[in-house]
């Protein structure tokens, strides 16, 4: 790492995770094996209990499996946030579903339940919400809408490992929750994901679909001789990744503590600087604090000022209706329209220090 450059993201892999990966590579099981089962069990104990946990090879895979298990089919409509990673929506296109973009809230960048309510109609078969930066969405309001229309909620919790909403851990609330362990996430397995399921009777189906539609619980010869009744995918996690995940999960509270300390420091130091607003909080929930996001009037100017001082910054995510494969720009997202040129993410990763943040703040104080 260039000590003079403050980068936006940097992967953090605990030493114990590296050591376990090295050890696993010398064993018989490097693909899906006993450590995947162990990781799922530990995840259920620490994060998702009583929801079942299904380990997969990517957060996108966990979303795709969630959408399949939710019963989404070709021609169905699904409400999603206009502001999210494009991967939130891509698996819906695999299924031939139609995406309806809901607007976001100005103070959180999370999906706006009022916009969701306006979009609801008999063709909508699910509501998808993304916890932007790790801050949980307004789950009670979204659940009330889902209950009224009898549809499931799927949480894209790619950024929200360890976050809580009204005392409940994300992963224990909705019908399905999808986590990502991609390279720069708070908990990484280089790449990987986890899906949690409220209905435990879907566990066996989920595990079949993630492995070609084949029942791995059967004896080796029998599993290949048995009929395959549903389309499956190669979405399984490896033991190398699972071993890394186990060790990273063991120290997750300490990792989150560091992220939250940095978040609070950013918030305090930015509080009295004109022209910039730090966002990502709500009184009844706790963010994972994966991102340090600001709202500024001259994003281009601030980004340049930081770059001139060897500090990276970036919007990171963009409104998803700008991508033609998702149908083009929505005309019903005024908050997104207002914010799309105003948000900027500041450096936030495990190796950041308070001294690094001071350097970022000092550049901002000078103006842009």
Reported as a single tens digit per residue, the pLDDT across 46-63 is 999 999 999 999 999 999
Q: Which of 102-116, 206-220, 323-337 has the lowest mean pLDDT?
A: 206-220
What are the distances in angstroms from CA 301 to CA 310, 341, 367?
14, 12, 9
- Which backbone phi and psi does 278 adopt, to 5 degrees? -90, 130
22 CB-contact burial (10 Å; exposed 0-12 / middle 13-18 / buried 19+):
exposed
pLDDT at residue 223, as a whole number: 74
Domain limits, CATH 3.90.1150.10, in the chain = 252-365
Q: Per the structure block, which two tokens stand in for 366?
A: 């000078």
Q: State the Cα–Cα distance between residues 2 and 347, nearest whole angstrom.
A: 14
pLDDT class for 215, splitting at 50, 70, 90? confident
Q: State the Cα–Cα distance between residues 248 and 233, nearest whole angstrom.
A: 27
Q: State the Cα–Cα distance between residues 260 and 268, nearest whole angstrom.
A: 12
Q: In 3D, which of 36, 85, 95 has the Cα closest to residue 59?
A: 85
Q: Where are the alpha helices (DSSP H) in the chain?
A: 15-24, 34-43, 59-69, 90-94, 113-119, 139-149, 203-209, 220-225, 239-250, 252-270, 299-308, 334-339, 354-365
187 pLDDT higher than 60: yes
Domain limits, CATH 3.40.640.10, in the chain = 15-250
State yes or no: cis peptide before 50, omega within 30 of 0. Answer: yes
- Yes or no: say if 177 and 155 are a contact pair by the CB < 8 Å rule: yes
219 pLDDT higher than 70: no
Q: Say which DSSP state 104 is in.
A: B
Q: State the Cα–Cα distance between residues 245 and 252, nearest whole angstrom.
A: 10
77 pLDDT higher than 90: yes
162 pLDDT higher than 70: yes
pLDDT class for 226, splitting at 50, 70, 90? confident
Q: State the Cα–Cα distance between residues 237 and 235, nearest whole angstrom.
A: 7
pLDDT at residue 340, as a whole number: 96
Q: State the Cα–Cα distance between residues 54 and 65, nearest whole angstrom.
A: 10
- Which backbone phi and psi does 136 adopt, to 5 degrees? -60, 145
Q: CATH says 252-365 is which class?
A: alpha beta
Q: What is the average per-residue pLDDT within 62-79?
A: 98
Q: What is the average per-residue pLDDT within 241-254?
A: 98
Q: Per the structure block, which two tokens stand in for 232?
A: 């499956």
- Which backbone phi and psi does 234 adopt, to 5 degrees? -95, 70
Three-state SS for 72? Answer: coil
Is pTM beyond 0.85? Reply is yes
Print burial letters for 100-126: b (CB count within 10 Å at least 16), e (below 16): bbbbbbbebbbbbbebbbebbeeebbb
Q: In 3D, which of 241, 235, 73, 62 has the Cα closest to residue 156?
A: 62
Q: Per the structure block, which two tokens stand in for 308?
A: 């001139």
1 pLDDT higher than 60: no
220 pLDDT higher than 80: no
pLDDT at residue 217, as a whole number: 80
pLDDT at residue 216, as a whole number: 84
Could you report the per-residue pLDDT of 136-160, keeping only the tens digit for each? 999 999 999 999 999 999 999 999 9
Q: State the Cα–Cα distance between residues 208 and 63, nearest whole angstrom.
A: 16
Q: State the Cα–Cα distance between residues 250 and 312, nearest whole angstrom.
A: 31
The CATH architecture assigned to 15-250 reads 3-Layer(aba) Sandwich (3.40)
């Amino acid at each position: 790492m260039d000590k003079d450059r403050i980068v936006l993201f940097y992967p953090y892999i605990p030493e114990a995770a590296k050591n376990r990966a090295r050890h696993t590579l010398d064993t018989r099981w490097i693909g899906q094996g006993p450590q995947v089962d162990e990781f799922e069990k530990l995840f259920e104990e620490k994060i998702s209990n009583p929801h079942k946990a299904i380990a997969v090879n990517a957060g996108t895979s966990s979303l795709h499996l969630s959408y399949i298990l939710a019963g989404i089919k070709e021609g169905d409509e699904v409400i999603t946030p206009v502001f999210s990673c494009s991967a939130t929506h891509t698996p819906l296109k695999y299924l031939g579903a139609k995406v309806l973009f809901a607007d976001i809230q100005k103070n959180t960048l999370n999906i706006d339940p009022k916009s969701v309510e306006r979009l609801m109609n008999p063709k909508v078969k699910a509501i998808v919400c993304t916890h932007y930066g790790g801050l949980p969405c307004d789950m009670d309001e979204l659940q009330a809408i889902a209950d009224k229309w009898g549809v499931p909620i799927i949480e894209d919790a790619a950024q929200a490992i360890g976050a809580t909403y009204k005392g409940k851990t994300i992963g224990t609330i909705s019908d399905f929750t999808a986590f990502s362990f991609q390279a720069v996430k708070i908990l990484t397995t280089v790449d990987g994901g986890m899906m949690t399921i409220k209905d435990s009777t879907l566990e066996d189906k989920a595990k079949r679909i993630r492995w070609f539609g084949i029942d791995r619980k059967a004896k080796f010869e029998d599993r290949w001789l048995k009929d395959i009744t549903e389309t499956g995918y190669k979405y399984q996690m490896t033991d190398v990744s699972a071993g890394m995940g186990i060790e990273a999960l063991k120290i997750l509270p300490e990792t989150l503590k560091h992220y939250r300390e940095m978040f609070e420091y950013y918030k305090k130091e930015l509080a009295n600087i004109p022209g910039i607003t730090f966002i990502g909080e709500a009184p009844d929930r706790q963010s994972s604090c994966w991102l340090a996001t600001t709202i500024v009037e001259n994003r281009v100017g601030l980004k340049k000022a930081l770059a001139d001082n060897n500090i990276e910054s970036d919007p990171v995510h963009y409104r998803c209706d700008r991508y033609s494969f998702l149908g083009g720009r929505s005309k019903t997202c005024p908050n997104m329209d207002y914010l799309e040129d105003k948000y900027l993410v500041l450096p936030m990763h495990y190796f950041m220090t308070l001294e690094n943040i001071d350097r970022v703040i000092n550049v901002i104080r000078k103006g842009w």
